[in-house]
């Protein structure tokens, strides 16, 4: 008969006594390449926009629409596959490396299925562009972009599965190198296919989509070679045999990962809907918001990477049944994030005018964007804390309740308040973009409080024991 959760030993080995600064160093070392990898991913949109802008305004608009319709739904498979690092790290910490290979092969089946679902979405989504009011001269280019990039989606999802396997094993350098390598492919290939060169026809936005798809396949194949030849992976035989789909394992990955995907989608859609609502206020507010949110997004790459590293460290400690190390890993993540967010907030407070001058010389846009950066500075701390708390909870494989807490914070508090203040709903004064950003601050602050309290409760030794017993 199975023992009750309260009877499961809290800790098998003695808790590690290594100093706190060692944990900070481990987390920072793990996160640093992830920051570079995330920046590389963010620069893909910058490269696409730059090449499209040189080709023409219609091409730029088409790529903007196509990119939005690609990345927003892509957040679901990306988040779903984030269930891999904590499980891999937990198995590694528990000394069960032989189980990692079979788990990874099932994650590839899941990744490929998610990629096919995204392929289908990108095939049929362009039919909705015209009914949704997208300008007629933009629809052909946006359609061509989405139909081009869809061929790379199965490669991208499989790449993510391989990336998360490596990160779960505390190996983040490939993410950085392959992310940068992808940009080196995308820049020349995107230019050639967009403008037509080397005997190839001019393809416009569709050429950028095909170039992005080719980059995704090259990245996936390169990661497969890295895993196949790496000494780190040799004992796990990740490509050692063919495994058919194991539906219970895949359902387990979905049970943990799908709530993560929904959470990531809700946060991402909060910012996208905010941008769309601000766009109703006119070109100056829209341009100012775009500048401020771009700066905030770049700053967010650091706590996001630290959160992913914390997921791995917490999962590893959970596998070792070491609650003290688990809490120490989370505290190290919080300490790093508080430091990095303090620097980001200070830069936005002191250098807001200088930062904005890098984007525009329009006086009206610059003045509003500089004021919005002050709001961005205000949400640096709650933004960092909420993403770090979510990452720590993923390490415990606690994802369903955090999904509900995030939904309440973002869409129960943030969006209603922002829309009310920004658009002057229900007789409220119209604050414009500043009102929408007030809503963002409120939503992120509530998320930080709720998710932080959730982790404080979930990381108690008796609850860690139950989580460890539930995962085997």
What is 174-232 written as a DSSP string? HHHHHHHHHHHHHHHHHHHHHH--TTPPP-THHHHHHHHHHHHHHHHHHHHHHHHH-GG
How many CB atoms lie under 10 A from the CB of residue 132? Answer: 8
How many CB atoms lie under 10 A from the CB of residue 453? Answer: 12
In the block, which residue shows the tokens 């599965």?
A: 161
Nearest C-alpha neighbor of 460 from the set 1, 136, 3, 11: 11
Question: Are the C-beta atoms of residues 245 and 228 closer than 8 Å to each other?
Answer: no
How many H helices and E strands in the chain?
17, 0
DSSP state of 425: G
Q: What is d(CA 224, CA 8) in angstroms, rounded to the nearest whole number?
A: 39
In the block, which residue shows the tokens 């219970």?
A: 248
Q: What is d(CA 189, CA 159) in angstroms, rounded to the nearest whole number?
A: 20
Q: Looking at residues 310-318, what average pLDDT do you find?
A: 89
Question: Are the C-beta atoms of residues 186 and 211 closer than 8 Å to each other?
Answer: yes
Q: What is d(CA 270, CA 286) in angstroms, rounded to the nearest whole number?
A: 16
Q: At 425, is the pLDDT very low, low, confident or very high (cuts 50, 70, 90)?
A: confident
- In the numeric block, which tokens belong to residue 17? 């006594």
Nearest C-alpha neighbor of 63 from the set 7, 6, 130, 138: 138
For residue 32, pLDDT over 80 is answered with yes
For residue 38, pLDDT over 60 is answered with yes
Q: What is d(CA 467, CA 472) in angstroms, rounded to the nearest whole number?
A: 9
Size of the chain in residues: 472
pLDDT in tens, 172-223: 888 888 988 888 999 899 889 988 888 788 888 889 999 999 999 999 999 9
The domain spans of the chain are 19-245, 256-472
Q: Cα 401–404–405 angle (5° rounding)?
A: 85
Q: Which pLDDT does position 467 carry in this prediction?
A: 59
pLDDT in tens, 93-115: 888 888 888 999 999 999 999 99
For residue 2, pLDDT over 70 is answered with no
Question: Are the C-beta atoms of residues 6 and 468 closer than 8 Å to each other?
Answer: no
Question: Are the C-beta atoms of residues 432 and 369 closer than 8 Å to each other?
Answer: no
In the block, which residue shows the tokens 């198995």?
A: 91
Contact residues for 99 (Cβ-Cβ < 8 A; gap 6+): 91
Highest mean pLDDT among 287-301, 333-347, 410-424: 333-347
Question: Are the C-beta atoms of residues 253 and 116 closer than 8 Å to each other?
Answer: no
For residue 12, pLDDT over 70 is answered with no
Q: What is d(CA 459, CA 218) in angstroms, rounded to the nearest whole number?
A: 40
DSSP state of 10: S
In the block, which residue shows the tokens 């949109």?
A: 45
pLDDT in tens, 135-177: 787 788 889 999 999 999 999 999 999 999 998 888 888 888 8
pLDDT in tens, 321-347: 888 888 999 999 999 999 999 999 999
Q: Which pLDDT does position 159 carry in this prediction?
A: 94
Nearest C-alpha neighbor of 440 from the set 343, 372, 341: 372
pLDDT in tens, 243-292: 899 999 999 899 888 999 898 888 888 887 887 787 777 778 877 887 88
For residue 4, pLDDT over 60 is answered with no
Q: Where is pLDDT greater, at 19 or 29? A: 29
Q: Which pLDDT does position 13 carry in this prediction?
A: 44
Q: Which pLDDT does position 331 carry in this prediction?
A: 93
Contact residues for 326 (Cβ-Cβ < 8 A; gap 6+): 314, 317, 318, 395, 396, 459, 464
Q: How far is CA 340 from the centre of its chain?
A: 18
Q: Which pLDDT does position 16 carry in this prediction?
A: 47
pLDDT in tens, 66-98: 887 888 888 899 989 988 888 888 888 888 888
Q: Which pLDDT does position 130 carry in this prediction?
A: 81
Q: Which pLDDT does position 10 carry in this prediction?
A: 43
Contact residues for 432 (Cβ-Cβ < 8 A; gap 6+): 278, 281, 285, 422
Write down the mean pLDDT value for the chain. Answer: 85
Q: Where is pLDDT greater, at 64 or 449? A: 449
Sign of the dihedral defined by the CA atoms of residues 241, 247, 249, 253, in that order:
positive
DSSP state of 242: -
Q: Which pLDDT does position 330 carry in this prediction?
A: 92
Among residues of the chain, what percentage have pLDDT more than 90? 36
Range of lowest pLDDT (47-56, 294-303, 404-413, 434-443): 47-56
């Amino acid at each position: 008969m199975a023992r009750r959760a309260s009877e499961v030993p809290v800790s098998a080995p003695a808790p590690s006594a290594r100093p706190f600064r060692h944990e900070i160093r481990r987390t920072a070392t793990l996160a640093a390449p992830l920051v570079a990898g995330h920046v590389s991913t963010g620069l893909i949109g910058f490269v696409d926009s730059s090449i499209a802008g040189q080709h023409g305004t219609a091409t730029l608009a088409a790529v903007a629409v196509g990119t939005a319709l690609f990345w927003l739904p892509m957040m679901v498979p990306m988040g779903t596959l984030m269930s891999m690092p904590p499980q891999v790290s937990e198995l590694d910490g528990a000394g069960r490396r032989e189980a990692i290979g079979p788990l990874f092969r099932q994650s590839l089946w899941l990744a490929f299925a998610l990629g096919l679902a995204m392929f289908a979405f990108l095939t049929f989504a362009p039919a909705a562009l015209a009914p949704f009011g997208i300008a007629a001269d933009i629809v052909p280019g946006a359609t061509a972009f989405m139909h081009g990039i869809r061929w790379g989606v199965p490669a991208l999802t499989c790449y993510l599965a391989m990336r998360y396997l490596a990160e779960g094993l505390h190996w983040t350098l490939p993410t950085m190198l392959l992310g940068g390598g992808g940009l080196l492919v995308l820049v020349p290939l995107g230019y050639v296919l967009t403008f037509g060169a080397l005997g190839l026809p001019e393809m416009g936005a569709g050429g950028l989509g095909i170039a992005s798809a080719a980059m995704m396949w090259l990245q996936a194949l390169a990661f497969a070679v890295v895993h196949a030849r790496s000494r780190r992976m040799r004992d796990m035989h990740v490509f050692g045999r063919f495994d058919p789909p194991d539906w219970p394992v895949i359902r387990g990955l979905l049970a943990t990962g799908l709530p993560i995907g929904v959470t990531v989608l809700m946060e991402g859609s909060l910012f996208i809907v905010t941008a769309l609502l601000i766009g109703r206020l006119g070109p100056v507010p829209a341009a100012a918001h775009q500048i401020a949110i771009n700066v905030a997004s770049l700053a967010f790459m650091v706590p996001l990477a630290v959160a992913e590293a914390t997921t791995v460290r917490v999962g590893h400690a959970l596998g070792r049944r070491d609650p003290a190390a688990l809490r120490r890993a989370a505290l190290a993540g919080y300490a790093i994030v508080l430091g990095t967010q303090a620097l980001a907030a200070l830069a936005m407070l002191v250098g807001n005018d200088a930062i904005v001058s890098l984007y525009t010389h329009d006086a009206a846009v610059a003045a509003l964007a500089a004021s919005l950066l002050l709001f961005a500075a205000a949400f640096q701390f709650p933004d960092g804390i909420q993403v770090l708390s979510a990452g720590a909870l993923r390490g415990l494989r606690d994802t369903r309740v955090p999904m509900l807490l995030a939904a309440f914070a973002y869409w129960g508090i943030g969006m209603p308040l922002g829309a009310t203040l920004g658009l002057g709903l229900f007789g409220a004064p119209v604050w414009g973009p500043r009102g929408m950003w007030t809503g963002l601050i409120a939503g992120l602050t509530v998320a930080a409080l709720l998710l932080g309290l959730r982790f404080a409760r979930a990381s108690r030794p008796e609850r860690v024991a139950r989580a460890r017993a539930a995962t085997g």
